[in-house]
Structure 1
Amino acid sequence: MVGPLFMATDNSVCVLLRGDFLKTDHSIMDWLHSKLPSSVVYISFSRVVHLKQEEVNEIAHDLLDSGLSFLSVMNPPHKRTKKKKNDHVLPYGFADKSGNKGKVVQWCLQEQVLGHPSMACFMTHCGWNLSMEALSFGVPFVAFPQ
């Protein structure tokens, strides 16, 4: 992989270069539009990072305790993962407690999410693409190296 693909301008024509291979949930943008500017925390660790269940639990509880709106991308384990019982499970009652403040998806168009006015910050594993995309959109990020 070479790196992230960004918007390029050519004599006042704006072209969005994209490299997504998975289907996205289009309700994400409607949900983001319903949020105030700089009010949403975005959490994504890419498809190659698989957090421990304890880390998923801690992040989930911290999000609920913060009272902030959040969009979290929770990827299923990679196909090459040998263990079949390592799917992440959100804590009991998480969806009910987060209500409309939180949205958990398996995939999203990251450049649209990071470029949305509702973005306050981005929690990332500090991979090259994710970090460069956040920097290019001017979104502050919280580093969670993996």
Structure 2
Amino acid sequence: MPADGSHPTASTAQEPVGELVQRATQQLSQLVRDEMRLAQAEMSEKGKRFGKGGGLFGGAGLMGVLTLQALAATAIAALSLVLDVWAAALIVTGVLACVTAVMAALGKQQIDRASPPKPERTVRSVKADVAEIKEKAQR
């Protein structure tokens, strides 16, 4: 009850609440917009970092290939001290071919395990759920 002893009317009691609700709605809208801008800026920064990281990984992969080529040349040079150069190169090439074949077989095995590219267990589970729901709906 106000200090002057009068009773507040419904309109005066509702006005401040309405203003508070309106202000809260505006502040919430502004907060959501600010958070969206912050998220956008953060994702943009992360995207740039992912791009740089991907480029650096690509460069590292290229350097790795060059390193392996240098290692192969070193192995050929070392073997050529006791064998003819052609024999040393043939031995190193044979070893690299064997490593390649093993890696290809292991990679194919992993891909075969992943095929077909659909969540088979989940599909079976969903089908079972649907069947159970249909069964219960028919009762």
TM-score (norm 2): 0.18
Q: Which has the larger radius of gyration?
A: 2
Scaled by the length of structure 1, the TM-score of the pair is 0.18
Higher relative contact order (CA 8 A, sep 6+): 1
Select the structure that is richer in helix.
2
- Larger fraction in strand: 1
